[in-house]
Structure 1
Amino acid sequence: MLKSLMKACAQKLFGVAIMVALTPALLASHELILSGVGVESVRAHEKSQSFSKWRSTEKGIAVIFTVAARQITLLPPVNPNAPSLERTLSQHLDNTITLSKLEAHCIASGFSPRKARPGFISMENYFMCPAEETEDSDTVTIGIESFVDYAETHIHFAQFKNETGQYRGYLFNYDRRQDVLSLEADGNMVAEDIGLLQTFFRYSHIGITHILSGVDHLVFLLGLLLLTNRLRDVVLVVTGFTIGHSLTLGLSAMKILSTQSAIVEGLIGFTILVVAAEAVMARRNLMWLAGGVFALMLFFMGLYSITLEAPMPINGWAGLMLFAVAYGFYSQNLNIVRQTLPIMVVIFGLVHGFGFAGVLVEAGLPNNRLLSALIGFNIGVEIGQLLIVAVIWFGFFRYMHTRFPEKLRGAITDFAGIAMCGVGMFWFASRLLI
């Protein structure tokens, strides 16, 4: 009787913990604000990417190029004896960004440093193109080949000021290095309009590229597969993850919800930490211990965050502590973990959806092709996700479950789980405390 009562209480506590823990962690005023304002994009999914903004000024066509400082280390330094990230980036951009009109190159003033937020380096440049007095608008070809020869998965998001005075984004990558824009008489830069089908395929490609090059999303999917032993479970997990991330992806892309990027990035690391711990500890009926250790760790991290300008407020840390204790107590064994896995995957998928939304917003959503772009991007993410799951499950996991002895399967699961636990902990702590 007492055991049944305690189990019932645990189930109730688990449900309450989900609401109480994830609400302050995701929906508190400082992390996730229900509003109609724009989405602050999530820019750090361990990807190779850069950004630029273009506008027409009296000095010519101005561009501000921004990239994470760590990305510049991919480039060979200008002077190996006295390396300078700014000089290295400036020379690289001078050689890889071009403008031309009527086959004549526009004259550049040269990239020079400008103020940027911590961890990033920004460069500014002006291009003077040949004047045309006989036409109201001229075609300008912009070429951006930055970083693609050093990282084939590199994505560059360029934003051009359009006819409404707003910025509209376009994608450049290894396969797409040029775009053609119209330079209007009033100074606006307008890209050629593309149809519904072209929009769909363009954003599908962005979705596929994002999921295949997003290391944190891949690690999370691998952790989920460690908890499954049947194809039916794999289907449920993939479906739950799709439902979760599709909801927040759509709401964020349509600017119904807005997020603080550092919180989302940190929570993605936390989701990896949880599924990795389940893979190792649930088989030993020790999730209660993992929950307690997590709660203690979160307590000290929360105290430390008070001394910093950390993005997560104290109620967020408290919510995650409650979740860790409640879920650890509820998940008594691997069977319970697998029973609740579809629900947990939906909840964790909500977090990852905000991460997907960040890259979609950076790519720019065309107002007249919003639905086509959104559906295309989401389908692209699903295609990439299914490719990953199919390769991992049918290429290795299915063989492992049918051919490997139980002890060897357990050793492989433990090794992978411990490694992912370390990676998840690193991402969680570094994104919220550093």
Structure 2
Amino acid sequence: MKRFLITLMLAATVLLCATAHAHKPSDSYLTLMVSDKTVDGRWDIALRDLDFAIGLDQDGNGELTWGEIRARQRDIAAYALGRLTLSNAGTKCLIAGGPQLIDTHSDGAYLVLRFTASCSAQIEKLDVDYRLLFDIDPQHRGLLNLQSGGQTSTAIFSPDTPHQTLVLREASKLAQFHDYLVTGIWHIWNGFDHILFLLSLLLPAVLKLGDKERRPSDSFKASFVEVLKIVTAFTLAHSITLTLATLQVISLPSRWVESAIAASVILAALNNLFPLFQGKRWMVAFAFGLIHGFGFASVLTDLGLPQSSLLLALVGFNLGVEIGQLVIVSVFLPLAYAIRRTMFYRSAVFSFGSSLIVLIATIWLVERLFDLRIFTVSA
């Protein structure tokens, strides 16, 4: 049994390191407004993603100009719309591209692609097949905002769920709440920087610091209480700034927020190797949780939700983040406690794992501060 647990922990560590993506997770924002037989669409796609996919920077100077973008508008439309299919009653809707503009989101410049889809019959159920960037970036997500009859609903597209059927009906408050709840869960599971920050704080929870080295904790209760303080502090902190940012009371530049998040991961992992905040990790969780809240808020802000949905979205999304977070903790803590006495945990998972987290987060920090792409991920 112990060998199985060790193997499982090793596999989880390798998997996490293999899938960690250095940039802020790649998202696009697809808004569909349905009326009778017609769908009016707005698709916001990050210019950095389009440049990565089809090469917009013609002179290779690292800066995109409107002239370079305008020269590739036809290619951009063909690339994006060729990876989106809308169907109604089993028949594909005819999509026609429209004007292209530039807009600024919380994490940089986006191309705004307008389009119209004409369907053969009045739309009651809309089948959406979304495959943008999945072949070159498995971490990409498409965030859908569907508007019909004055109601708003959301959906998330990923390589595992590229196809969804959306029923057009008067959405109940419970259904909308569920949509935002799921969005929050998937955001924390896809936010590797948030996960590594949390794990950096949890790794020492099953150990205690002696005079010369860390030793296994003798009490699961003590480890549980330590984790409870960390998770509660992190939750309270990011809930405060998530609320303030979503309601637009406070707004910070995305690059600085994302850079600060990367720095928080570095400091949390370094604290495992060179203890400075032993017994006060909950204070670290609270302090940096305030920064992480701004990162969570960028998703809701960029979705462009109507004011009538903001409170529902805020509560559902935040609860989803907490559920996703608790799932991670509930899997990690018993497993880590079970193997805490092994050399594998203390050397490979705790020491080597913390060092690896420092390295990964340092790469994130450099990329985010200087807007670079040091490593790429392919499917």
Sort the TM-score into its range (normalised by shorter chain): 0.5 to 0.7
Offset of residue 280 of structure 1: 0.9
* Distance of 2:303 and 2:331 partners within structure 1: 28
Counterpart secondary structure, 1:51? strand
Whole-Å Cα distance in 2 between the matches of residues 354 and 128 of structure 1?
A: 35
Answer yes or no: is the 8 Å Cα contact 1:169–1:363 preserved in 2: no
2:95 is equivalent to residue 155 of structure 1: no
Q: For residues 363 and 48 of structure 1, do their structure 2 counterparts lie closer, same or farther at Cα, with a shift above 3 Å needed?
A: same
Aligned partners of 1:93 and 1:111 also within 8 Å: no
Give the aligned partner of residue 45 of structure 2. 67
Aligned position for 2:58: none
Aligned equivalent of 2:310: 370
TM-superposed CA distance for 1:215, in Å, is: 1.0
2:267 to 254, 274, 286: 274
User: Displacement of 1:94 after TM fit?
Assistant: 3.2
1:338 to 275, 278, 296: 278
Partner Cα distance (1:208, 1:128) in 2: 31
Checking the alignment, whether the CA contact within 8 Å between 2:23 and 2:367 is kept in structure 1 is no
| Aligned partner (choices 46, 52, 71) of residue 30 of structure 2 | 52
Indicate yes or no: 2:147 matched with 1:170: no
Q: Counterparts of 1:88 and 1:374 in 2: how far apart (Å)? A: 37
Q: Which has the higher strand share?
A: 2
- Matched residues in 2 for 1:200 and 1:55: separation? 20
Deviations 1:192-244 (A, max 9, x none): 54222112211110010000111111111111112323222111111111111
2:351 aligned partner: 414
* 3-state SS of paired residue (2:132): coil
2:128 is the counterpart of 1:143? yes
User: What amino acid is the match of 1:217?
Assistant: H
What is the Cα-based RMSD across aligned positions, in Å?
4.0
Instruction: Give the share of equivalent positions with the same residue, in percent.
Output: 28
1:15-414 maps to which residues of 2 (within 5 A)? 46-53=24-31, 63-68=41-46, 90-99=77-86, 105-110=92-97, 122=111, 124-127=113-116, 129=118, 141=126, 143-147=128-132, 150=135, 154-159=140-145, 170-174=154-158, 175=161, 177-179=164-166, 192-228=169-205, 229=207, 230-282=223-275, 331=276, 337-395=277-335, 397-404=336-343, 409-410=346-347, 412-414=349-351
- Indicate the larger mover: 376-385 or 247-256: 247-256
Per-residue Cα deviation, 1:282-338 (whole angstroms, up to 9, x for no partner) = 2xxxxxxxxxxxxxxxxxxxxxxxxxxxxxxxxxxxxxxxxxxxxxxxx3xxxxx12
Deviation, structure 1 residue 96: 3.6
> Unmatched 5+ residue regions in structure 2?
1-21, 56-71, 208-222, 372-379
- Larger relative contact order, structure 1 or 2 (CA cutoff 8 Å, min sep 6): 1
SS of the residue aligned with 2:233?
helix
Cα gap change, 1:108 to 1:200, in 2 (>3 Å) = closer
**How far apart, in 1, do the equivalents of 2:316 and 2:117 lie?**
36
Q: Is the 8 A contact 2:180 2:317 kept in 1?
A: yes
Q: Tell me if the contact between 2:200 and 2:265 (Cα under 8 Å) persists in the aligned partners.
A: yes
User: TM-score, structure 1 length as denominator?
Assistant: 0.59
Q: Which amino acid aligns with 1:177?
A: Q
Could you state the TM-score of these two structures normalised by the residue count of structure 2? 0.67
Structure 2 residue aligned with 1:430, among 367, 374, 378? 367
Question: Which one has the largest radius of gyration?
Answer: 1
Query: What is the alpha-carbon distance in structure 2 between the residues aligned to residue 411 and residue 143 of structure 1?
Result: 44
Letter in 2 for 1:200: F
Cα contact 1:66–1:122 (8 A) shared by 2:
yes
Greater fraction of residues in helix: 1
- CA distance change for structure 1 residues 248 and 418 in 2, over 3 Å: closer, same or farther? same
8 Å CA contact retained: 1:200, 1:372: yes
Kept after mapping to 1: 8 A contact 2:143/2:154: yes
1:390 counterpart letter in structure 2? S
- Kindly state the Cα deviation for residue 402 of structure 1 after the two structures are TM-superposed: 3.4
Asked whether the equivalents of residues 169 and 362 of structure 1 are also in contact (C-alpha less than 8 Å), the reply is: no
